[in-house]
């Protein structure tokens, strides 16, 4: 059923007022690229919307000694153009494939995370970089690891009246190589059927350390830590990677939906590991 009437939008003067509006039942709104679609289609029916896209506390990218703080209302395009995207290439690899340019200009990193879709592209680098989600609510501020914040499709650890303010993104030690591959049903502007992101630390062709993040193969993004552990000490070769494809396959718990059957996601997820061979060319 489609939404027939208009939805009121309020614009708080500061973060304190925004928290109060949300505590009263308002739905936070920044870019609106997903929210307006769902409201129009009748999936969401909020009492009113709280526009937070211009609050100073939610804007800006601050690079510090050990990492960076990224405001929840920073758009994907702003992040893609930033110094941070150059310093952390995994963001560049992911965000270049996120939607159309117009969507990247409007959509925000906070909105993508709050939607808690296992196919959400920007979740991949946040999981790989082990980001913290900074929240504010009626009871004050708190921070929570991204893996604990996302609970399932459309479900987060947000409590009543809480807002995502920013993300703390630690810089990884050394110089890991970044990899991202997204599988979809079209060549462009697609939602992932599944995806794999990776950070790999190499000594010659030997993997010293690796982090993997799989999207759209389970209720949340998956960090297959057993596979990560088994990658240590292996050469970046087909012979060394192929035996682990089945283990990556086993780490998935996909569903079947309009974008692809569960068996397809399992099969392809395992084979995506071989894509790491491209890191030899970097």
| pLDDT by position in tens, the chain (length 282) | 344 457 899 999 999 999 999 999 999 999 888 777 788 888 788 899 999 999 999 999 999 999 999 999 999 999 999 999 999 999 999 999 887 888 899 999 999 999 998 888 999 999 999 999 999 999 999 999 999 999 999 899 999 999 999 999 999 999 999 999 988 654 444 445 688 999 999 999 999 999 999 998 888 999 999 999 999 999 999 999 999 998 988 888 754 444 445 556 666 777 899 999 999 876
DSSP character string of the chain: ----S---EE--SSHHHHHHHHHTTPEEESS-TTHHHHHHTTS---S-EEE-TT-GGG--EEE-SSEEEEETT-BHHHHHHSHHHHHSHHHHHHHTTSS-HHHHHH-BHHHHHHHT-TT-TTHHHHHHTT-EEEEEETTEEEEEEHHHHEEETTEESPPTT-EEEEEEEEPPSS--EEEEEEE-SSSSS---SEEEEEEEEEETTEEEEEEEEEESSSSS-B--HHHHHHHTT-BSSHHHHHHHHHHHHHT-----BTTB-HHHHHHHHHHHGGGGGGGGG-
């Amino acid at each position: 059923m489609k939404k027939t009437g208009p939805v009121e939008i309020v614009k708080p003067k500061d973060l304190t007022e925004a928290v109060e509006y949300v505590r009263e039942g308002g739905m936070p709104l920044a870019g609106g690229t997903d929210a307006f679609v769902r409201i129009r289609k009748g999936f969401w029916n909020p009492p009113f919307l709280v526009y937070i896209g211009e609050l100073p506390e939610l804007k800006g990218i601050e690079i510090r000694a050990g990492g960076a703080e990224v405001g929840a209302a920073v758009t994907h395009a702003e992040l893609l153009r930033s110094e941070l995207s150059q310093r952390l290439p995994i963001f560049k690899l992911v965000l270049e494939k996120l939607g159309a340019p117009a969507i990247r200009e409007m959509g925000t990193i906070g909105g993508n995370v709050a939607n808690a879709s296992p196919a959400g592209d920007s979740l991949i680098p946040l999981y790989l970089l082990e980001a913290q989600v900074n929240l504010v609510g009626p009871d004050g501020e708190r921070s929570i690891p991204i893996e604990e914040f996302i609970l399932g499709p459309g479900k987060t650890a947000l409590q009543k009246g809480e807002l995502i303010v920013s993300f703390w993104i630690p810089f990884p030690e050394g110089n890991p190589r970044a990899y991202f591959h997204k599988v979809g049903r079209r060549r462009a502007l697609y939602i992932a059927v599944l995806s794999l992101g990776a950070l790999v630390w190499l000594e010659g062709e030997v993997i010293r350390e690796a982090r993997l993040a799989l999207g759209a193969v389970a209720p949340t993004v998956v960090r297959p830590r057993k596979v990560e552990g088994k990658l240590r000490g292996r050469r970046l070769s087909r012979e060394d990677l192929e035996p682990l494809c089945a283990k990556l396959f086993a780490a998935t718990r996909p569903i079947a939906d309009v974008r692809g059957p569960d068996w397809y996601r399992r099969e392809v997820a395992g084979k995506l590991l071989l894509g790491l061979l491209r890191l030899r060319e970097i």
